[in-house]
């Protein structure tokens, strides 16, 4: 600027320019946050809309993948003498670790010991009858005791009992061992005269199981008086926690092919575990006299792979714990209702600093 020239007017001396800068700063401060705040709810609404849609598609796909097992998948059931005479007098084939251990103990330890003792006592009786009959011994023996024999008949039974006791105690411990904390829980309710199954971990209602009419069972190729309208479905190859409860009188939940029997008592909950090593259908019966139709409340247990079990849960209107666990962290990470506008307002606040700085420069000039 040369000497004699007039200095340019500053912002304070130029009202029009100062008013324009103030209007611009006010517009950025007011309208900027509104637009940004509107974008955040829009994104949240889109995410919330997409989540149920994806969940619904997954549920529909899983539901369509479940198919009840047919009669060709029957694994555990009793057989009649006309079908298998020898098999009708034995235990059913076992399909659980506890059942296999119990069957091994019966076949390898108990049955041989019982057979040997029975044959020994029978032979001893026949020997005594022949050896010490009146014709062979006109003068009876006056022997009062024999130390060796007395030691033998005392020590040998003790050894036999020890041989039986060790595996028996181990079997009892394994049979009543508590299931893992992550085991699937099924609450079995006994009614007169049907069963109800609850799955508390899957948010579904009670599954009521009644005996299927005989004509319908025969038409479907299922065993009469054992087939039911709704089976108890569980995953195979996993520990299952069974909790029994009697809703009216005492019942007993028993599945012989899984070596499982647990009373259902009113007013208390009994707990046991099942581990099934093979997919299929397993039949059982109420094993406690519970009234007029005690013999007509069968048990049908269907063991399927985990994927099919989850599909069955979804078909019953339940939810999967894994999906809920994944949704919980996502909900925790999502911003609260008041967070989005605050965060959105930070950017316009920063943007509004630029006009303010321009105003300060103009004032300085």
CB 36, CB 348: distance < 8 Å: yes
pLDDT (tens place) for every residue of the chain, 365 residues total? 444 444 444 444 455 565 666 666 555 555 554 444 344 444 544 444 444 455 455 555 555 578 899 999 999 999 888 888 888 888 999 999 999 999 999 999 999 999 999 999 999 999 999 988 888 888 887 878 889 989 999 999 999 999 999 999 999 998 888 899 899 999 999 999 999 999 999 999 999 999 999 999 999 999 999 999 999 999 999 999 999 999 999 999 999 999 999 999 999 999 999 999 999 999 999 999 999 999 999 999 999 999 999 999 999 999 998 655 555 555 555 555 545 444 444 444 444 454 445 544 444 44
Q: What backbone torsions phi and psi does residue 255 show, to the nearest 5 degrees?
A: -130, 100
Tokens 């619904």, residue?
56
Relative to beta strand 74-76, strand 280-286 is parallel
Residue bearing tokens 């909950």: 269
Q: Which residues contact 287 (CB under 8 A, 6 or more apart)?
A: 252, 253, 254, 261
Buried-state track 317-331, b at ≥16 Cβ within 10 A, e below 16: ebbbeeeeeeeeeee
Cβ atoms of 208 and 196 within 8 Å: the answer is yes
Does the global pTM surpass 0.75? no
Alpha carbon distance 230, 209 (integer Å): 5
How many angstroms separate the Cα of 21 from the Cα of each of 162, 351, 361?
101, 14, 11
Q: Is 298 helix (H, G, I), strand (E, B) or coil?
A: strand
């Amino acid at each position: 600027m040369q000497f004699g020239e007039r200095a340019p007017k500053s912002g304070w001396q130029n009202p029009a320019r100062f008013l324009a800068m103030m209007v611009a700063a006010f517009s950025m401060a007011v309208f900027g946050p509104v637009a940004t705040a509107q974008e955040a709810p829009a994104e949240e609404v889109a995410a919330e809309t997409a989540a149920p849609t994806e969940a619904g598609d997954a549920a529909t796909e899983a539901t369509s993948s479940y198919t009840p097992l047919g009669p060709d998948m029957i694994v555990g059931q009793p057989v009649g003498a006309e079908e298998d005479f020898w098999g009708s007098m034995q235990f059913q084939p076992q399909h659980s670790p506890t059942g296999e251990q119990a069957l091994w103990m019966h076949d390898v330890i108990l049955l041989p010991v019982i057979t040997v003792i029975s044959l020994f006592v029978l032979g001893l009786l026949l020997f005594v009858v022949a050896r010490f009959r009146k014709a062979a011994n006109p003068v009876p023996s006056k022997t009062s005791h024999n130390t060796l024999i007395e030691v033998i008949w005392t020590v040998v039974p003790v050894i036999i009992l020890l041989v039986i006791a060790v595996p028996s105690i181990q079997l009892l411990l394994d049979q009543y061992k508590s299931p893992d904390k992550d085991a699937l829980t099924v609450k079995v309710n006994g009614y007169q005269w049907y069963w109800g199954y609850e799955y508390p971990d899957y948010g579904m209602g009670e599954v009521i199981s009644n005996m299927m009419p005989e004509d319908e069972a025969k038409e479907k190729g299922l065993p009469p008086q054992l087939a039911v309208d709704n089976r108890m479905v569980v995953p195979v190859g996993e520990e299952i926690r069974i909790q029994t409860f009697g809703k009216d009188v005492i019942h007993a939940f028993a599945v012989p092919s899984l070596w499982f029997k647990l009373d259902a008592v009113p007013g208390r909950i009994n707990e046991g575990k099942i581990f099934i090593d093979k997919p299929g259908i397993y039949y059982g019966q109420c094993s406690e006299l519970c009234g007029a139709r005690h013999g007509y409340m069968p048990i049908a247990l269907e063991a399927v792979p985990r994927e099919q079990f989850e599909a069955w849960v979804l078909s019953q209107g339940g939810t999967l714990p894994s999906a809920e666990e994944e949704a919980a962290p996502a909900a925790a990470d999502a911003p609260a209702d008041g967070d989005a506008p605050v965060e959105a307002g930070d950017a316009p606040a920063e943007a509004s600093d630029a006009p303010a700085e321009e105003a300060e420069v103009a004032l300085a000039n």
